């Protein structure tokens, strides 16, 4: 049975970076006889323009019937005036929710070649290797009630609800503890338990689940402190587990520690390791269409796909080694450029990774 991958390029730089990731994946597929097949569909603003919805039924069906989803990015100024229910971002959120992709892994690894691309001092970031485990299908992103309504006073009121059940917290806790067991066995749960009851429950459940993992050292940190600590001394962290919203914000902070948001891949997994793979960045409307976006986060997301969904660690390692070799050859997209390097386009970077793979 061929393994099917749903390919959703999306909007903005999405199609540009996905094209490079597919270059790499197609090569490794043929070279290693992985038997992967691909089918492309529209999502986000592109789907709205064609079908009036950011998540057409045929796209959702394709994702449900596929073994994995590769997504570029969605959104852009063109669709900002739309009602929230049909905004491009809802297409992405719909896939996460419909496929039950509750466990979002966002690894922040600093490649030594990019030490000087980070805005932080080399000694602060060199050797950085941390994993953020973000809860992805609950919390304030999905809680009810939500919306903008007219209050009794006659003025408009906007509301969203941060809500987590014990079972939602428990399953992301288990994901995070298992990941920590395979790493340096230190898990930091980030919350705002001093103010928000919902994260007091979060903290209690984390502590309770922690009893099943005596080999993992669990700590707790408030999110404001965690944001500061990530910039002050990021290497103190091994694995961070946090809510949907806090994870969104902290992973963008972590991205910059690695030199650029264009370097951070992600895996969004269900209970059976079926998953969606995407860079953590967005559609970058400010640089879309210029061929200058960094495709490495998307290429590294493909490596995560091979590792987590297709259980092909060797193929994943080959891609990661090829990214490393491409950086060794001193090619850089604009976002990670520094003096003395060779600046390349999006496809130039994809070609450099491909060349390294071809050996
Ligand atoms: P963004 O991540 O798209 O861009 C932030 C900044 O980082 C921009 O200056 C951009 O040029 C730069 N950047 C991002 N990716 C890059 C890459 N690969 N190479 C080089 N530079 C890169 O965030 P934003 O501007 O806040 O959002 C733009 C749109 O993307 C919005 O519609 C937002 O909702 C959407 N978005 C989508 C996703 C997603 O699809 N997963 C994630 C975040 C934002
Ligand atoms: C991300 C993005 C999304 C999120 C948006 C586009 C819905 O910022 O994947 O980090 O907030 O989860
Ligand atoms: Mn984000």
pLDDT in tens, 123-155: 999 999 999 999 999 999 999 999 999 999 999
Q: Is residue 164 part of a domain?
A: no
Q: Is residue 226 part of a domain?
A: no
Count structural domains, the chain: 1
The residues assigned a catalytic role are: 141, 192, 224, 248, 252
- Domain at 34, CATH number: 3.40.718.10
* Ligand 2, atom 9, residue with closest C-alpha: 280
Q: Is residue 228 part of a domain?
A: no
User: Mean pLDDT for the chain?
Assistant: 97
Q: Which domain holds residue 79?
A: 1-106+265-359
Q: Is the pLDDT of residue 7 over 80?
A: yes
What is d(CA 321, CA 300) in angstroms, rounded to the nearest whole number?
10
Q: Is residue 178 part of a domain?
A: no
Q: Is residue 137 part of a domain?
A: no
Mutate to test the pocket of ligand 1, among 19, 42, 244, 284 (most ligand atoms within 8 A of CB): 284
ipTM above 0.90, yes or no: yes
Ligand showing the shortest atom-to-Cα distance for residue 75: 1
291-301 residue pLDDT tens: 999 999 999 99
Q: Is residue 233 part of a domain?
A: no
Q: Is residue 234 part of a domain?
A: no
Closest CA to 284 of 294, 275, 272, 269: 294
* Ligand 1, atom 13, residue with closest C-alpha: 284
At 2 the pLDDT is 76
What is d(CA 57, CA 73) in angstroms, rounded to the nearest whole number?
19
Q: Is the pLDDT of residue 38 over 80?
A: yes
At 1 the pLDDT is 65
What is d(CA 109, CA 255) in angstroms, rounded to the nearest whole number?
9
Q: Is residue 297 part of a domain?
A: yes
């Amino acid at each position: 049975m061929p393994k099917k991958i749903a390919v959703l390029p999306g909007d903005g730089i999405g199609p540009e970076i996905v094209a490079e990731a597919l270059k790499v994946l197609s090569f490794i597929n043929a070279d290693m006889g992985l038997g992967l097949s691909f089918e492309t569909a529209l999502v986000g603003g592109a789907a709205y323009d064609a079908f009036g919805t950011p998540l057409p039924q045929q796209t959702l069906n394709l994702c449900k019937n596929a073994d994995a989803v590769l997504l570029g990015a969605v959104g852009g100024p063109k669709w900002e005036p739309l009602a929230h229910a049909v905004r491009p971002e809802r297409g992405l959120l719909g896939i996460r929710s419909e496929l039950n992709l509750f466990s979002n892994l966002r690894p922040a690894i600093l490649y030594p070649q990019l030490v000087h691309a980070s805005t932080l001092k080399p000694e602060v970031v060199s050797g950085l290797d941390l994993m953020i485990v973000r809860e992805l299908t609950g919390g304030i992103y999905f809680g009810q009630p939500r919306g903008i309504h007219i209050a009794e006073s006659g003025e408009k009121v906007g509301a969203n609800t941060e809500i987590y059940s014990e079972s939602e917290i428990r399953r992301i806790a288990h994901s995070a503890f298992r990941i920590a067991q395979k790493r340096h066995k230190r898990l930091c749960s980030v919350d705002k338990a001093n103010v928000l009851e919902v994260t007091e429950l979060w903290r209690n459940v984390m502590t309770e689940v922690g009893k099943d993992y005596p080999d993992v050292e669990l700590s707790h940190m408030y999110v404001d402190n965690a944001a500061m600590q990530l910039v002050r001394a990021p290497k103190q962290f091994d694995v961070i587990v946090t809510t949907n919203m806090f994870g969104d914000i902290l992973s963008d902070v972590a991205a910059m520690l690695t030199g650029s948001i264009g370097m951070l891949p992600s895996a969004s997994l269900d209970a059976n390791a079926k998953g969606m793979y995407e860079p953590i960045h967005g559609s970058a409307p400010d640089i879309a269409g210029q061929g200058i976006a960094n495709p490495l986060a998307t290429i590294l997301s493909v490596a995560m796909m091979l590792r987590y969904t297709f259980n092909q660690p060797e193929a994943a390692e080959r891609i990661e080694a090829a990214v490393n070799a491409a950086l060794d050859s001193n090619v850089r997209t604009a976002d990670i450029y520094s003096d003395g390097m060779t600046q390349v386009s999006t496809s130039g970077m994809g070609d450099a990774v491909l060349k390294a793979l071809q050996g």
